[in-house]
Structure formats: structure tokens, C-alpha cells
Amino acid sequence: MPRLGRPPGQELNAIDPLALRTDADPAAAPPPASRRARRWLVLYPRAIPLVIFLALAAITALSVFAIESNARARERAQMREYAQGLAAALDRSGSGFTSYLRAGAALFASVDEVSPETFDSFVRALKLNAEDTGAEGIGWIPVLEPRDLPGFLARTRARQPDYPAITPTPASNTGRIAPVAMFAPDTPLNRRALGYDMYSDPARAAAMAEAEVTLRPAASGRIMLRRDNSPAAPAFAIYMPVFRLSGSEDRGLSGFVYTPFRAREFLDAAIDREGAGGFGVRLYDGEVSTGHLLVARSISGSARETVEQEVTIADRKLMLVIEHADHQVLSPLSMVTLMFGLALASLLMLLARLLTQQAFEDQARLAFFEEQHSIRNSLTRELNHRVKNTLANVLSILSLTRRRASGLDDFADSLEGRIRALSATHDLLTVTDWGTTPIRAVIEAELQHFREALDDAILLEGPDLELAPNDALSFGLAVHELATNAAKYGALSVPGGQVTIRWSRGDDEAAETTWAEVEWQETGGPPVAQQRRRGFGTELIQKVVAHELRQPVTLEFDPAGVRCVLRVPVRRPADFRIREREIDRRVRKP
């Protein structure tokens, strides 16, 4: 029997709950869309809430992605704006000192020899503020031939007795020499640069050669200042060539005015003017690689976003890299959106789950009530059929008993015994819930009173076979009549008499039928009279029982004892279980 709580797809799919409302107004039925929605809820009670949750989660994820994308775009715009501002600040610093160098070159080109007085006068006129630009100062580098070096040292040491020797020491094959002759501001650290031959360093020599060719200020690559001489303090320098002119005659390169920059101070000065901005900054000489890094002011952690900005300082390309690392996985707005979206999705999933569960339970209840209604109808029809059969049997017994009775007492006794036989079989069927009943149990129920007094006189022998309810009633009535006749006139009426009841199973494969063949044999009783009146028992067995069982009945009155052979059908449960068959048909109805 189907039960409430059966998984969906069985009884719930079999019966449409709207079909149960046979007495309802068709206009009051839900619209088709509502019906379809409820059917979806019932058919997929777990999938629908999950789909709702996933849909809202996807919408939330898209919202968070949009918020994060906008935040990243805004962040990149801020980084690019900061990079442009910082590049402009660096360019202004470089351009300012380039102007100083151009002015110095113009002044020094107009004199025959750059003396300390001329250099000091020039520096004082410039009013240098190196701290605001990151420059170390400004210096003068004469360009000498090796043969001119002794005279240069003699003149210079005459004015500056502490002027050092040229370093590195020139060799016999050394070409031009460019020693630092003067440098301002005059500090103990800056004096370390005096006497250093600029042509001895390839990076410096390359910048000086470029300036000589282009006649414009030229910046060097990554160098180490003489005062620091440490790889941890990279620097660069800008050189402006000075050509001494006398009338229209070009007397060639006289020297260079130059300014060295420590990369960190140069960048810090620009950052101080532009503002830190909360970003990391890296400055590279040309391409972005570790070997070309000039200075880095990185933020902690790995950079998540970077923006590159090219900067030109004295015709040399530098690369400014702005980086930003956000330690937060998501922005606050994204976190709020994500938490709210997930909470809403969970709430709607729970609500949808409750609705689907309620719809599922309502559907199950409707199906259960319809099933119970069907069962009641089936039971009512079955009860009516069985009551009619029983009343027909009673009427037949009553009619035959009345015709064969010799008096009122005989009629009452015969009728009572036969009614009791029906009652005994009914009690047995009730115990088995009107299912199949063992054939041995039917015989023992009808012979119970006789076996209590004559136990040894009755022998039962046969296999276990089950009878249908109606067949058991008819067979029990036949056994009662045979036993009553044997007790009155046959083997059970005298001592030493015996009744043997044997049964066996028979099959007809062609007709697909099975029966129990029961043989009643009396022995040891009084001789059976050949001339006798046909009684009610004979009529009942040969007419009523044979008709109900739809099988032939053999009844022989042999002088040695009565012999009766009956065939009782052994039916399949599906042939007589009207209730189960009807319910099964309705449940499996598409």
C-alpha cells in the first residue's frame, strides 16, 4: 500500500491533486502557470531551492566583480595620474639643472681658462638649492691631452695646494683625460670627487661623448659616485660640453659642466613635491629589469597593479614604475555586497525549500486521501459481493433444508449446523484477513467437534496449499456436509469407523490452472444402502459446491464406504485480491 512520504515520482506523479476536486468549480481552479509552478516545486523539491541559491549567488558574484572592476579601474587611473605628476616633477628637476649647465657652458666658453674665481662667481650667481632637486651640486671638468696634464696640475695646485693626484693614474697610452677640477658646494665629501678622471668610467665617457656630438646636455647611465663608491647608492650625471671660441676660430672642446644626482635623493625630492600617494615607486635606467634599477621605494608585499611612465632626463630615457598592493581580498563595499547577497540567497533558498516541502506534503496528503477513498470504494464493492454470495448460500441452504426436513426440529438442527459451518469458515478467513487460507486449516475447522471426540478416526494427509476466500467457504461447506453424513449414517457413526482425507496438487500447463484434488474416503462403517432417499447433503455438494468451485464433484456410495472427490481451484493472489489489484491499477495510472 503506498504510504505518505514515498519518494517523488511514484504515487505523487500518478494522481493530479486538481483531479481530486471533482466537485469544485472549474473557474476556481488555479491558472495553468500556477499549476505548472506547483508541479515543478513538487517534482524537484531539492533542485528548485538550489537553483534559486545559485542564481542569486551568481548575481552577487557579478555585482562583486563589477564593483571590484570599477575599483581597479579607479585605482589604475589614480596610479596613472600619480605617475604623470611624478614624471613631471622629475622632468622639472632635470630641466632646472640642465638650464644651469647650459648657462655655465655659455659662460665658460667665453673665457680662456676657467679659474676658481670665475667658477665661484658662477655658482654664487646660480644660488643653487640642491636639496630641492636631489642634485649633489655642479662641477667643472676640463678635457686634457696627456701632454697637457703636468701643466694643468701645476696651475691647479698653485691655486689649490691640496688638489689630489689624478685617479685612476693615466697610462702612457691613455687618450684624453677629464679630471674633476672644481666642484660646488665645497664640502669634505664633495672634495673626494676632485681629480677623478671621468673618461675612466665607460658610462660617464659614453654620456660625455654623446653630449659632445649633440651639443646638448646628456645624462649618463647607472654610475657610482666617487664620494659613495657603493653599489647600494646608484646615481647618474648630466654633462654639458663647453667649446672655447676665439673669434671665428673653433679651438675645440674645452671641457664639461656637469651635475651628479644620487638616484634616491633625486626621486625623493620629486615625491616630496608631488606627495607619496600611498604607492610604491621604482625608477629604472631604460628597460624595466633588475640590472637597470636605479632606486626603489616599494611598498610591503607583492605589487598587484603596476603602471609604467616614461621620463626623459637630458635625452636619456628613464622608466618610472608605480605599483600598488592591496592587502584586502575585497574592498569593503564588495564584502558588504557579498555578505548581503549570500544571506539573501540563503534566506530565499530556505523559503523555497519550505514551500517545496509544503507543496510536497500537500500533494502526498491529497494522494493519500484519494488512495483511501479508492480503497473504501473497493472494500465496499467487495463487501457487497461477499455478502451477496453468503446470503445466496444461506438462501440455498435454507431452501434445500426446508424441502428435506421431516419436521421443525430437524429443520432447525440442520440449518443451525450448516450456518455454523459457514461461520467457522468465516472466522478462519477473518483471522487470515480474507487472504489465502491453508486447505488443512479449513478441514480442521469443519471437523473440530468430531476430532475432539474421535481423533484417531479422522486422518488428514496432503501438501501445503492455499485457497482463495470464496473457494474456502464452498469447500468448508462440502466438508461439513460429508462429516455430518458420516456422523449420522457412515463411518463416524460406529466404533472402529475411519475417515481418510487426502489431497494433492494438480496442474494444467496448457490452461495455466492449478487445483487441489481432495479425496474423502470412509471405511469401517455400516454398509451403505444402495436404495436410499437423495438428501440435502448430496444436493448441496453436487449442485451448490460444484457450481461455486466450477469444478466437477465425484460422489460414490460404495457399500464399503462413501467416497467423494472434489477439485478446489488454487488461484493466484492477483485473481481474487480485488482491493490490492484496484489500488495497484490506480497508483500506476499515468
Q: Note the pLDDT tens digit of each residue in 541-553.
A: 776 677 777 777 8
> What confidence tens digit (pLDDT) does each residue in 311-335 have?
999 889 999 998 876 656 677 888 8
Question: In what helix (H) or strand (E) does residue 237 lie, and over which residues does it extend?
Answer: strand 234-246
- As given in the structure block, the three cell numbers for residue 162 are 691640496
CA distances, 140 to each of 199, 408, 549 (Å): 14, 161, 139
Pair (175, 296) in one structural domain: yes
Question: In what helix (H) or strand (E) does residue 424 lie, and over which residues does it extend?
Answer: helix 408-431
> Is the residue at 12 inside a domain?
no
Pair (382, 247) in one structural domain: no
> What confidence tens digit (pLDDT) does each residue in 139-175 have?
999 999 888 889 999 998 988 888 999 988 887 677 8
> Is the residue at 137 inside a domain?
yes
Pair (291, 382) in one structural domain: no
CA distances, 11 to each of 47, 48, 191, 371, 570 (Å): 20, 20, 103, 9, 32
Instruction: Sort strands 498-508 and 458-461 into parallel, antiparallel or unpaired.
Output: parallel
Question: In what helix (H) or strand (E) does residue 139 lie, and over which residues does it extend?
Answer: strand 138-142
Burial state string for 509-542 with b = 16 or more CB within 10 A and e = fewer than 16? eeeeeebbbbbbbbbbbeebeeeeeeebbbbbbb
Pair (559, 420) in one structural domain: yes
> Of 324, 355, 388, which residue constitutes the final position of a domain?
324
> Is the residue at 212 inside a domain?
yes
How many distinct structural domains can be found in the chain? 2
Pair (377, 306) in one structural domain: no
Pair (486, 571) in one structural domain: yes
The pLDDT of residue 5 is 38
> Of 292, 324, 356, which residue constitutes the final position of a domain?
324
What's phi and psi for 171, nearest 5 deg? Answer: -95, 175
Instruction: Sort strands 218-219 and 466-467 into parallel, antiparallel or unpaired.
Output: unpaired
> Is the residue at 472 inside a domain?
yes
Pair (221, 115) in one structural domain: yes
> Is the residue at 11 inside a domain?
no
> What confidence tens digit (pLDDT) does each residue in 74-90 have?
888 888 998 898 889 88
> Is the residue at 207 inside a domain?
yes
> Is the residue at 382 inside a domain?
yes
Pair (445, 537) in one structural domain: yes
420: domain CATH number is: 3.30.565.10
> Of 260, 289, 324, which residue constitutes the final position of a domain?
324
Question: In what helix (H) or strand (E) does residue 109 lie, and over which residues does it extend?
Answer: none
The pLDDT of residue 37 is 63
The pLDDT of residue 390 is 66
- Is residue 100 a contact partner of residue 125, using CB atoms and an 8 Å limit? no
The pLDDT of residue 437 is 83
Domain with 133 in it: 69-324
208: domain CATH number is: 3.30.450.350
Pair (461, 579) in one structural domain: yes
The pLDDT of residue 7 is 42
Among 376, 462, 478, residue whose Cα is nearest residue 421: 478
Give the chain's residues under pLDDT 50.
Answer: 1-29, 247-249, 578-580, 583-584, 586-590
The pLDDT of residue 248 is 43
The pLDDT of residue 372 is 84
The pLDDT of residue 586 is 47
List CB contacts of 8: < 8 A, sequence separation 6 or more: 42, 43, 45, 360
> Is the residue at 355 inside a domain?
no
Three-state DSSP state, 141: strand
The pLDDT of residue 511 is 65
What's phi and psi for 588, nearest 5 deg? Answer: -90, 5
